[in-house]
Amino acid sequence: MNIAIIGAGWAGLSCAVRAVQSGHHVTLFEAARQPGGRARAVVLPLPEGRPDSQPLTLDNGQHILIAAYTDTLRLMRLVGINPDTVLRTQALALTFPDGTGLQLPDWPGRFDALAVLVGIATAKGWTWRDKFSLLRTAVAWQRGGFTCPAQHTVAQLCATVTPAVRDGFIEPLCVSALNTPASRASGQVFLRVLQDSMFGVSGGSKLLLPRVDLGQLFPEPALQWLISRGCDVHLGERIGSLRSEGTGWQVEGQPFDHVILATSSTESARVLAASALTATETIANQLHDWAAIATTLRFEAITTVYANSPQGLPKPMLALHASAEQPAQFVFDKAQLSSKSTCTTSLLAFVVSASVGDKATVQAQVVAQAKAQLGLTITPLQTIVEKRATFACIPGMQRPAQHIAAGLSACGDYVEGPYPATLEGAVRSGWAAGALVTPNARTAQPSQTP
């Protein structure tokens, strides 16, 4: 079949790989000049008056993967990336600069349950009352099959844990996984993430920290894999609308048997609204219905403050005590993570999930937070605000379906599914969309060979 995929983020690339692997001809359209979408590399401009300086490649936001991201890891291997080379593996740790917090032992995956118990029992800064409250709550979740009423927030779900556990474990874990504060985040989605990471996949809770920029991590190798297999790639080309034609669709005057929208929910809704103007009444209603659901989604921002520091961190990653005045939840030492020896030894990345406020204010707050919690006087290098980084993962939300109309579907981390807006959610959605035009779609899984 002749397939058009609009969007070369992680979902669109995953979809394209699946379709090409199945023998279809794929044409990939991307509005930006580079692949990756909301998880991409960013090259900083050279400082004024310093033409001899080396460009610095960062990310549009610091990302964490976990070992439970099985489809993402499998897809990386398929396009020729060795995860062991580009990712640093470490046991789950939510430890703070003062040494308090939870640190799981770095044991083989078959000891996951025991590692969680030991990690809770040895958590520093927690009383036995704190530890028991988390153990009791976790056992209740497991006995309940990791389910809860659809309208429960994470805060309601964790009402029985102590303030120390809530502030030092639940809140940072929730905001890192769902990018939504516990007071507003979906309890059911939070439980699904916990189930898969702690009990669903052997060693699934281990953190995978990128050693390379996000472009090298997957999008760029995936694009080269697609091009080498005959995929037509059009970068820097924004699609205004589609035109229904018989059983297929036209994109920029080209006929296709199937079109898959792999853009953001906002962009997809815009394309569909424009496409409905020339569609038959039946198809126009389907496009409007899908777009109406997509436009109900609300979004959360993520701010990443990159800064030079007089010294690095004691660990590659530390949790921070976040508040309205000190908003960063995590800080990363890029030198300890980078696979390049030329990386500046004092480059830190502060992450503010569910970020509010303007860029200048958040940056100033992070500078003060670094001084207060790390004892460091940092110099901001670049502050990147991804205003629509993820959808707000709230209870009872309705997400648009993968199917839009005959010969037309969508994929992305926001499309109907069990996961929040994560790289794994995007990859799984893209793979499933690619399987819609593939025989035996129900049983298809990413294989490790082309």
| pLDDT tens per residue across span 301-327 | 999 999 999 999 999 999 999 999 999
β-sheet with 65-66: strand ranges across = 65-66, 207-210, 87-90
Please list, in sequence order, all residues whose beta carbon lies within 8 angstroms of the beta carbon of residue 321, skipping any fewer than 6 positions away: 96, 167, 373
Q: What is the per-residue pLDDT for 242?
A: 96
Percentage of residues of the chain with pLDDT beyond 90 = 82
Mark whether 401 and 267 lie in a shared domain: yes
In a domain, 46, yes or no: no
Q: What is the per-residue pLDDT for 208?
A: 96
Please list, in sequence order, all residues whose beta carbon lies within 8 angstroms of the beta carbon of residue 314, skipping any fewer than 6 positions away: none
Which of 166, 184, 205 corresponds to the end of one domain?
205
Q: What is the CATH number of the domain that holds 306?
A: 3.90.660.20
Mark whether 279 and 414 lie in a shared domain: yes
Which of 166, 181, 205 corresponds to the end of one domain?
205
Mark whether 106 and 187 lie in a shared domain: yes
Mark whether 285 and 306 lie in a shared domain: no
In a domain, 136, yes or no: yes
The Cα 404–Cα 357 span in angstroms is 35
Read off φ and ψ for residue 310, nearest 5 degrees.
Answer: -65, -20
Please, which pLDDT band fits residue 340 given cuts at 50, 70 and 90? low
In a domain, 21, yes or no: yes
Mark whether 148 and 259 lie in a shared domain: no
How much is the pTM? 0.92
In a domain, 53, yes or no: no
In a domain, 155, yes or no: yes
Q: Please name the amino acid found at residue 17.
A: V
Mark whether 401 and 264 lie in a shared domain: yes
Mark whether 411 and 281 lie in a shared domain: yes
In a domain, 161, yes or no: yes
Poorest-confidence range of 124-138, 329-343, 435-449? 435-449
Residue 7: pLDDT over 70: yes
Query: Pick from 328, 313, 307: which is nearest to 374 by CA?
Result: 313
Which residues form the domain of 10? 2-39+216-297+395-443
Mark whether 123 and 149 lie in a shared domain: yes
Mark whether 255 and 341 lie in a shared domain: no
Mark whether 325 and 336 lie in a shared domain: yes
Read off φ and ψ for residue 350, nearest 5 degrees.
Answer: -100, 130
Which of 205, 239, 264 corresponds to the end of one domain?
205
Q: What is the CATH number of the domain that holds 431?
A: 3.50.50.60
Task: Say how many domains are in the chain.
Answer: 3
The model's pLDDT over 124-135, given as tens digits with 9 standing for 90+, comes to 999 999 999 999
Q: What is the per-residue pLDDT for 442?
A: 34
- Strand spans (E) along 199-358: 207-210, 232-235, 242-245, 248-251, 254-256, 258-261, 299-308, 317-319, 330-333, 347-355
Mark whether 98 and 191 lie in a shared domain: yes
In a domain, 131, yes or no: yes
Residue 344: pLDDT over 80: no
Q: What is the per-residue pLDDT for 52?
A: 53
The model's pLDDT over 369-393, given as tens digits with 9 standing for 90+, comes to 999 999 999 999 999 999 999 999 9
The model's pLDDT over 73-111, given as tens digits with 9 standing for 90+, comes to 999 999 999 999 999 999 999 999 999 999 999 988 777
Mark whether 375 and 407 lie in a shared domain: no
Q: What is the C-alpha end-to-end distance of the chain, expressed in Å?
A: 18
In a domain, 417, yes or no: yes
